Structure formats: structure tokens, C-alpha cells
Structure 1
Amino acid sequence: MSENQNLLAEQRRALILDEVRRRGGVRVNELTRKLGVSDMTVRRDLDALARQGVLEKVHGGAVPVVEASTHEPGFEAKSGLEQTAKEDIARAAARLVKPGTAIALSGGTTTYALAHRLLDVPELTVVTNSVRVADVFHTAQRASGRRQGAATVVLTGGVRTPSDSLVGPVADRAIGALHFDLLFLGVHGISVEAGLSTPNLAEAETNRRLVQSARRVVVVADHTKWGVVGLSSFASLDQVDTLVTDPGLPADAREEIREHLRELVVAGEPGEPDAAAES
């Protein structure tokens, strides 16, 4: 029962956040009518979203938070956002991974979700600059014992960011000496003009090295990342092979993406449980 309630709360809060961002602000009484829930429920949802730093409560309602291009949320703050979308994206992205390949996972909460989906893929070599991603594999192997076929995990060194990624010259040198078949890249923001961007200058350089070392680049990003621009761009859309996202991405954004990317995968599209691939 509690799991269903949590899922409903998550979906409701996602709808509230989309409404706030789309309209530039909403009132509590508008949300109660739209969602069919009580005033108290809406206020609790607004409190939860405000604690995550994604909106600001005002008298009688809420408005979006206008973030500076240098603002970098921590891992815990980001992990509570768009959880269902991230799980759908992780499930679809995992289908792209073949046994025995060398892959790289950048930092981020979506790549963290993906890591859990890869635990049973045999003979992987996983390069990552994410402490959280490395811990997923380490914890699983410690719990079950290192069995034959378990992933070999290479964790780069470097300086830790608020999102628990390792960046800087040490990470850059380690990544630059490697070559992997497939890179799964989480992003702070993605747009036609700015490409892929992050608020962290050191992370931007490390991400450039990841892109340069990969034969195929797959961006895993939910729809809220579209149109967001961080301080530093590290790749253009033309350098991305595939974007795996969720159905919340608007139709006009999908059209723009198709002009620049080889493949758009919409995970969890209604009526298409195995994910929809569009090109």
C-alpha cells in the first residue's frame, strides 16, 4: 500500500512541477481542482518540492526557482526528482549493452539507476568517474561474492563534486588513456544551441574526455533537462549518437532532436513497453 502511495505522490509532484515550470507559477486552489486532491495534500507536495530546491513557495501557491548557470545540486537533491522517468530510461538504456563490452558511465542519478540494471550483464568492463556508480557494483559483488563473469570496474581518481563525480586532471588523464565501446552520459542540461552542458567547469573537461574516448555516445536524460543550460558546454548534439529520454519530452523538442541525433529512444512511451526508437 505504501509503495502505491509513494508512486502516486511522485507522479503528482511531477505534474505539479511541470505545471509550475510551464505556467511560471500556480495557485494551491488551481492544483486542488486539477489534481482532485485536498488543499493539505497539495501543500505537502509543495513543501516536498521546495525542500528539493526545484520550486519556491509563495503566498497561496508556488513559482519556479530561477537557477544560476553555476548552480550545481547535490546527488541527494537530484535523486528525488523524476524517479519513474529515470527508471524507465535506465531500463531502455540497459538494452543497448552487450555482454563482454567495455562501457563508461558518467556521474549522475540516471546513470546510477542504469548501473543497477547492468549487474547481471556478464563480462562487462565498466569505466566510471562516479563514486555512486562504482559502489553499486562493489556492493552487489560483496553481497554475492565475486562470481565468474562479474563486471570489472575501473574507478577514475580525481576531485569529488557535489554530484559525487570525480573530475580534474587525474580523472582526465585516466580517461584519456582508455577506449570504450559505449558511453552513457548523464547531463545537467541539453539544448540545440548549447549542446550538453554542466555548471561545473572541471566536470565539463572530464566529460569532454569521456566523449572523446567513446566509440558511441548515449545521453540518458529525462525531459526536464531539455532547454537547461549550464555554465560550460562540453559537447554538441552532433557528437551524440543516441538520446534516451521519457515521454514528457514535448513534440517540438523531439523534432529538433531528430535533426541532430541519429537516434531518439523514448522510454516508457504509452503502448510501447519495450521503448520507442525514433530516427
Structure 2
Amino acid sequence: MSDHQNLLAEQRRALILDEVRRRGGVRVNELTRRLNVSDMTIRRDLDVLARQGAVAKVHGGAVPVAETSSHEPGFEAKSALELGAKEEIARAAARMVAPGSAIALSGGTTTFALAGQLLDVPDLTVVTNSVRVADVFHTAQQVAAAREGRRGTATVVLTGGVRTPSDSLVGPVADQAIGSLHFDVLFLGVHGISVEAGLSTPNLAEAETNRRLMRSARRVVVVADHTKWGTVGLGSFGRLDEVDTVVTDGGLSDETRAEMAEHLPGLVVAGEEE
């Protein structure tokens, strides 16, 4: 490799390291698009950075070296990942919501995107353990009141509980509140989803709260972009056969798509709905 090529590789790895530290994690497919190089090149770069102790490799990408499957990035760091995919998933999931229904939205950046798509659904009751999701509806109600002299139509029930780094409310208070409620559909965000581990999260308290949400729902819809498939967090909270539908995006490989279709009762790929 020439000195010029060495310099390019060093610059590329410096950019990757900066992204890992700034955003709390990177995905291989994002880096290939941004840096206009092959998957193999990015994976070699990550191998080098991992050997140097600068990053820790995870399924599909890398995180800061101190982070493990028990690490939970903050909301802002996770919001920066797969923005387009999350918006596509949110639009597809919103079409599943009927006026006048009672739904639940778990914490997560994809459910946050979904909340923004539901503001015009009339007579909706929303149960959520996400401070961010609740803020979406609260802000919309304030705007509606200021413009039209009336309150918005959504009724929001915030569970209470202990706040996680991703602004979800979890723990015994949240679990007790959720246990007394019943809703038509739960839209559930996940850290990871796989055949072996099912649905998982880095936060053990959040795992228990998610279990309570699933028990209180007549129908469970997981909203997860393609990078979540094969990722495993510290705590599992649900099996794949407990999920009615997964809504994901078109970034799935053919192999992954076939595996998901084989193990999931229902699979919706945003943008490809019939």
C-alpha cells in the first residue's frame, strides 16, 4: 500500500472513530454509503480499530470500547441512526391504527417517529412509558389549543417510573400502572431481535416493563429497522411467536428477509405493502 493509500485509510478510520464517539455507535451499511467504500473495507477498518482498542465490534457495526450488550446509548445518539428507515416504518405502522382505538407506544426512537404520524388520528388513547412520545402529543395539543381554542383529540397516559438513558420510564411503578391497563395494539421498539434471543434490550428493568406491556396488549407490533435483526441485548423479554407483526424497512438482505418470514407470524416491509 502506498503512502497516499495509507493516509486515506488513516483518515477514514479517524472519521469512523469520531462517528462512534459522537453518536454512540455506527453501522457498517451507513459507513459504506457515507465513505463510498465497500463493506469489506469498512469491516477491515473496524477490525483495525478494534485491535487498537479504540472501538468494540458489535453485530453490524461498532460502539465505543467501554460499551457492551448492557450499554444503553442515549436517545439523541440512537436518533441519529437509520433516520430514513425509521420514518418509513412509522408511516407503515401508522396505517394500522384505527380512530378511537387505545394503543400503547413503548420507548424508542422508532416509536417516537410513529407518534408524529398519529397526531391526526381522531379520538385516540395512547399509553406510553416514553417521555419523548408523551411530549409529541402534549406539544401537539398545546398547538391545537392555541390555534383553534380546543384541545387535541389524543388522551395520553404516561406510566411513571424510573427514567432510562433513552428516556423510557421503567421499574415497579411503571409495571404496576401498565398491569392495570388493556389496549388494542402495542407498538414496541426493540434494541435487538433474533431467532435465538427473541426481543431484547440492554436494560433489565426495561425488559420487565416491556413484558408487562406485551401482556396488556391484544396485539403486539414490533417496529424495528433492519439493523436490529441479529442484535442481542443483555435481557430478553419476548419470544418471536409472541409478536403478531414486525414492521421493518427495505434494507433487509434476501437471506435475512427469508429468515424473518420463517420465524415471525407477520412481516411488513415498509414501502412494499400490498
For the criterion TM > 0.5, the same-fold answer is yes
The alpha-carbon deviation at position 47 of structure 1 amounts to 2.8
Alpha-carbon shift at residue 68 of structure 1 (Å):
1.5
User: In structure 1, what is the equivalent of residue 25 of structure 2?
Assistant: 54
CA distance in 2, matches of 1:29, 1:216: 54
| Residue number in structure 1 paired with 2:166 | 163
- Using the TM superposition, give the Cα deviation of residue 48 of structure 1 relative to its aligned residue in structure 2, in angstroms: 3.2
Quick one: distance in 1 between partners of 2:203 and 2:131? 17
Equivalent pair of 2:142/2:151 in contact (CA under 8 Å): no
Q: 1:71 is matched with which residue?
A: 71
Rate the CA distance shift 1:148–1:75 in 2: closer, same or farther, 3 A: closer
Matches within 5 A, 1:95-110: 95-110=95-110
| Helix, strand or coil at the partner of 1:276 | coil
Is contact 2:162-2:171 (8 Å) kept? yes
Correspondence 1:154 to 2:125:
no
Contact 2:201 2:232 in 1 (8 A): yes
Displacement of 1:253: 1.8
Aligned Cα RMSD in Å? 2.6
Instruction: Give SS of 2:263's match.
Output: coil
Which amino acid counterpart does residue 259 of structure 1 have in structure 2?
Answer: E
Aligned residues: 237
* Match status 1:248 vs 2:251: yes
CA distance in 2, matches of 1:143, 1:42: 45
Matched, 1:276 2:273: yes
8 Å contact kept, 2:72–2:202: yes
The Cα of 1:135 is off from its aligned counterpart by 0.3
Q: Does residue 226 of the first structure (1) align with residue 229 of the second (2)? A: yes
Q: Counterparts in 2 of 1:73-222, with a 5 A limit? A: 73-145=73-145, 147=150, 150-222=153-225
Q: TM-score, normalised by structure 2?
A: 0.79
Report deviation, 1:43.
6.0
The letter of the residue matching 1:213 is S
Letter in 2 for 1:261: L
Partner of 2:43: none
Q: What is the Cα deviation at residue 45 of structure 1? A: 6.6
Looking at structure 1, the residues matched to 5 and 251 of structure 2 have their Cα atoms a distance apart, in angstroms, of 24
CA distance in 2 between partners of 1:47 and 1:70 (Å): 22
Unaligned runs of 5+ in 1: 1-27, 34-38, 269-274
Distance 2:217 2:200 in 1: 18
Spell out, residue by residue over 1:62-110, the C-alpha distance to the aligned partner (whole angstroms, 9 max, x if none).
8733751211111111011100000010011000001000000000000
| Partner Cα distance (1:156, 1:182) in 2 | 16
- TM-superposed deviation, 1:149: 6.2
Alpha-carbon separation, structure 2, partners of 1:185 and 1:201: 16
2:138 match: secondary structure: helix
Task: Assess if the C-alpha contact under 8 Å between 2:89 and 2:270 holds in 1.
Answer: yes
Q: In 1, distance between residues paired with 2:17 and 2:82?
A: 15
Structure 1 SS opposite 2:232 = coil
Runs (4+) of structure 1 exceeding 3 A deviation are 39-46, 55-59, 146-149
Q: Give the structure-1-normalised TM-score.
A: 0.78
Measure how far apart 1:157 and its partner are.
Answer: 0.9
Alignment of 1:10-49 (within 5 A): 47-49=18-20
For residue 239 of structure 1, what is the aligned residue in structure 2? 242
Tell me the percent identity. Answer: 70
Q: Which residue of 1 aligns with 2:268?
A: 265
